[in-house]
Structure 1
Amino acid sequence: MGLYTSLVAHGAFPVHERLKGHPTVPLRKALEATQWWAPAALENLQLTRLQILLERVAQQVPFYRQWFADQDWSPRALTSLADLERLPVIDKAVLRQAGAGWRAEGAQGLVAQRTSGSTGEPLAFWLGHERIAMDIAAKWRATRWWGVDIGDRELVLWGAPNETDVQNRLRSWRDRVLRSRLVPARDLDRARVDAIIDQIREFRPRMIFGYPSVLARVCARAREQGRCLDDLGIRVAFTTSEVLRPEWRAIITDVLGCGVANEYGGRDAGLIARECPHGGLHLTAEALIVEILDDAGRPLPAGATGQIVVTNLMGPEYPFIRYRTGDRGALDPAPCPCGRGLPLLREIEGRANDGLVALDGRWVHGSHFNYCLREIAGLRSYKIIQHAPDRVELLLVLDEPLAEAVAQGLRRAFTQALGESLTMEIRQVEAIAPEAGGKHRHVVCRVQ
């Protein structure tokens, strides 16, 4: 670890977190110890934290107080992790319907959050400082698995407008101190991709973080041009928000000359899993419990693919208990060669975040539209289908009729992104059916 990185990782960043009221450093240190615990010891820790969580929500969260009363059941009766199956499975629709009744009574200092809508169903919710700190600590621990740390040069390829266009002075100052450079990953025509390659060579990051589809596109362009990126000292590329397809992993590894670490999680459920250098996709078992359920809500054995349901153990202020993520996956019963006792995900299905093809051939990442659509009042879900380069269909499930001014704003946003001659059909529907294989995809591009 270089001197500057050490000063940031052990000085500047811990101070930053303390000023925000986040106990991130002690949580990370604890995680770096518990990751080596035996699976049975981790399960005991989960059980203890689950009991504490349920006792708090039964007292403070109106929904669960009523539910426990209706069931004539007390959290004190929970004696094993299997008892978790007695609680209801929830999803975004349940949380929306509950509204403010899902927040713990008397909870103070909560931070408003909103998902990006990458599943086609944006959600507004609130998190407490300990829950936020645990997510940061878990990500920090997993970053250190790869021999990099906070303060090492990091290049972030991201497409969220609220994180690229509205950087305030504090965020800009923080990123400069942490040596983290945010590069917008939108409108990826050849000139834009070439500019990103230039920035990678100039910045010489130790780690890269971003959408795997974008990283793969950048690497394919570099290979096409014969430009070298494997001589920069990049240690790892962290990929998130999409299924990491094998061909994407292969080209990123080959062109950047580094490891690729898949990440799975979200602002709502938390950092669920991250990949270690030995290839294990480790669950953050100290902070959450992952179940794999069949379509009838019954638990499946390790190795079987089903719905991923998460219980976050750190957020009693706005609990995510048996929360259906909308993704499918399987647990891996085999231990990881790295020796950590953390359980593993074997595979993840879903999260395919397609982009759309503009009329001039540019590729526009799906996140560009997530952040446009999620602000619509009363939006329950949506789906974008590009049938042809000049024809897009938008399906919306709303609580009330779509205002004409909002529809005009949507058409304006889509034509600005894809081309002025775009034909766009907006349809308000009662429900959006899954794809033939049962997966829900919110952006579908049928353009070759």
Structure 2
Amino acid sequence: MHDRLRRLRATEAIYAATKEPAAIRARQLERLNRNWTRAWQEIPFYQAWRARHSLPDAIGSLEELADFPVLTKTDIQENAELVARTPGATRTTLTGGTSGLSTAFPMNDQDARSAWTNSFVGRGWGGVRPYDRLFIIWGHSHLFGGRGVARKRAVRAFKDRMLNVRRVSAYNLDDASLQRIAASLEAFRPAYIIAYGSSLMHLCAHAEAAGLSFAHIGTKRVVNTSESIQPEEARRVSTLFGCPVVNEYGMSEAGVIGYSCDDLFPIRVLWHDYIVQTRERRLLVTTIGERCFPLFHYDTEDLCPDSHARDEALLSLSGLLGKARDVFRIVDRNGRSQEVSTFLFDHILKQIQTLRSLHFELRADGVVLIKYTAAADAPDPDAIFRRLEQGLRLEGIEVERSRFAFERIERPLQTVAGKRRTLQVQAGTDDE
């Protein structure tokens, strides 16, 4: 632990001392070339990747990174045998499924060290320090199966006790579970909380209905991670806990890429370990820190609201619009195809505060099936459609009732990692 703290202090000093964009770019370029050289010399996948795309030994500026091919999860899956031969790998991590493809990436202790350092650099911007009490509402699919499950869980529980962490499951958020979580929060009084946005909103709705408040327990920050949360939702959570709600941006295969400080946005990029660029508003990330299997010009599938030059290295993110695969097409009243997103539908329908968890299914016949959980006094499907119709009209989209179906469900639909399952596309649709 002493080594980790020394590493954290050294990294924080770099951020404190390096402010000028030119100095940041120079450091990023040096670290990029070091990682790229190691990758094409030692990692079988990147040896083949470099030869296939005629990539250089090194680059002379960050702008040249934009000429690299975009690396996707499909590339990793189609070359799984080469990827598995990555030297030094001691384990793999699987993506959680919100991006559609569950993909294996090689990992080792380097990844864990880098993730810990970057997490606490970002959390430190909000006054959170190592050993502060952490309450986490989480999915942990790696503890479900495979070899040594009991040992994995015992080790996880021991580490949590040593590090002042209390962990509860995001997989079951019924009223009884939420009541237990509320009691645990009251007793534990965490300095900060990390949870998926959907879990936070379930907890918020339960607390509001029960007349609960946690503003007195001394929480410094509530950290939303892995899912989008809307400003009005963040305000409700902030009121509940009496502190700011911030975003942690990252992914299992790349680590923690950025943190916001006092609000959801902007998210500051942890530029010492990451280069973030865009292509057609899709965020592309290059890892330049210590990682077992580095990523170069990797498609995160996340969408940003602003257009940027394709060779610009971003130091902050003004917003996130969800996953590119959460964009789909519907047919409007005039028979025209219109591009929409689950983010837009969320924004409209969550104005109905008795709706809880929303899930969307694009059927082969073009009908959008909206599944939802709700409080006892939820409106009927026709009333839900009217709200959706009004919201889409503000975006210039006129729709018909026959193009939408609604199904109330008892429990939220989740990925294997415990995140909200947003969009399912049936076989035979144009969006498949």
Shift of 1:80: 0.2
Counterpart secondary structure, 1:239: strand
- Among 47, 56, 64, the residue aligned to 1:83: 64
When structure 1 is superposed on structure 2, of 193-202 and 88-97 the one drifting more is: 193-202
1:64 and 2:46 correspond: yes
1:320 and 2:295 correspond: yes
1:211 and 2:209 correspond: no
- Among 117, 120, 123, the residue aligned to 2:100: 120
Shift of 1:316: 6.1
- AA of the residue aligned to 1:263: E
1:287 and 2:273 correspond: yes
Change (3 A) 1:241 1:66: closer
Shift of 1:329: 1.1
Q: Does the Cα contact within 8 Å between 1:104 and 1:317 map onto a contact in 2?
A: no
Gaps of 5+ in 1: 1-13, 16-22, 295-305, 334-340, 373-381, 386-393, 396-428, 435-448
Shift of 1:132: 2.7
Counterparts of residues 308-347 of structure 1 (less than 5 Å): 308-314=283-289, 317-330=292-305, 343-347=315-319
Q: Which residue of 2 aligns with 1:50?
A: 32
Shift of 1:240: 0.6
Q: Which residue of 1 aligns with 2:23?
A: 41
Counterpart secondary structure, 1:75: coil
Q: What's the TM-score, normalizing by structure 1?
A: 0.69
Shift of 1:328: 0.5
Shift of 1:430: 7.9
Q: Which residue of 1 aligns with 2:176?
A: 191
Q: Which residue of 1 aligns with 2:128?
A: 148
Q: Which residue of 1 aligns with 2:412?
A: 364
Q: Distance in 2 between matches of 1:54 and 1:238?
A: 32
Q: Distance in 1 between matches of 2:91 and 2:5?
A: 20
Change (3 A) 1:432 1:207: farther
Q: Does the Cα contact within 8 Å between 1:28 and 1:137 map onto a contact in 2?
A: yes
Change (3 A) 1:136 1:66: same
Counterpart secondary structure, 2:30: helix
Q: Distance in 2 between matches of 1:275 and 1:267?
A: 19
1:253 and 2:238 correspond: yes
Alignment length (residue pairs): 343
Q: Which residue of 2 aligns with 1:230?
A: 215
Q: Distance in 2 between matches of 1:153 and 1:290?
A: 31
Q: Does the Cα contact within 8 Å between 2:170 and 2:418 map onto a contact in 1?
A: no
- Among 139, 159, 162, the residue aligned to 1:177: 162
When structure 1 is superposed on structure 2, of 284-293 and 178-187 the one drifting more is: 178-187
Change (3 A) 1:263 1:115: same
Counterpart secondary structure, 2:319: strand
Counterpart secondary structure, 1:347: coil
Q: Distance in 1 between matches of 2:196 and 2:314?
A: 25
RMSD: 3.1
- Among 2, 6, 12, the residue aligned to 1:32: 12
Q: Distance in 2 between matches of 1:178 and 1:48?
A: 35
Q: Distance in 1 between matches of 2:109 and 2:138?
A: 25
Q: Does the Cα contact within 8 Å between 2:89 and 2:106 map onto a contact in 1?
A: no
Q: Does the Cα contact within 8 Å between 2:285 and 2:297 map onto a contact in 1?
A: yes
Deviations 1:348-395 (A, max 9, x none): 11156955657996432523x4579xxxxxxxxx9864xxxxxxxx85
Q: Distance in 1 between matches of 2:306 and 2:5?
A: 29
Q: Distance in 2 between matches of 1:161 and 1:135?
A: 18
Counterpart secondary structure, 1:202: helix
Counterpart secondary structure, 1:173: helix
Q: Which runs of 4+ in 1 moved over 6 A?
A: none
Counterpart secondary structure, 1:47: helix
Q: How high is the sequence identity, in percent, across the aligned residues?
A: 25
Q: Which residue of 1 aligns with 2:384?
A: none
Q: What's the TM-score, normalizing by structure 2?
A: 0.71
Shift of 1:56: 1.4
Counterpart secondary structure, 1:151: coil
Change (3 A) 1:71 1:366: closer
Q: Does the Cα contact within 8 Å between 1:290 and 1:309 map onto a contact in 2?
A: yes
Q: Distance in 1 between matches of 2:314 and 2:322?
A: 23
Counterpart secondary structure, 1:349: coil
Shift of 1:272: 1.4
- Among 46, 53, 75, the residue aligned to 1:94: 75
Q: Which residue of 2 aligns with 1:375?
A: none
Change (3 A) 1:432 1:140: farther
Deviations 1:212-265 (A, max 9, x none): 222122123222222221111111101111112112101000111011111111
Change (3 A) 1:332 1:27: farther
Q: Does the Cα contact within 8 Å between 2:282 and 2:304 map onto a contact in 1?
A: yes
Gaps of 5+ in 2: 324-342, 344-356, 360-370, 374-406
Q: Distance in 2 between matches of 1:29 and 1:44?
A: 21
Counterpart secondary structure, 1:364: coil
Q: Distance in 2 between matches of 1:126 and 1:102?
A: 7
Q: Which residue of 2 aligns with 1:443?
A: none
Q: Which residue of 1 aligns with 2:326?
A: none
When structure 1 is superposed on structure 2, of 121-130 and 166-175 the one drifting more is: 166-175
When structure 1 is superposed on structure 2, of 95-104 and 247-256 the one drifting more is: 95-104
Counterpart secondary structure, 2:131: coil
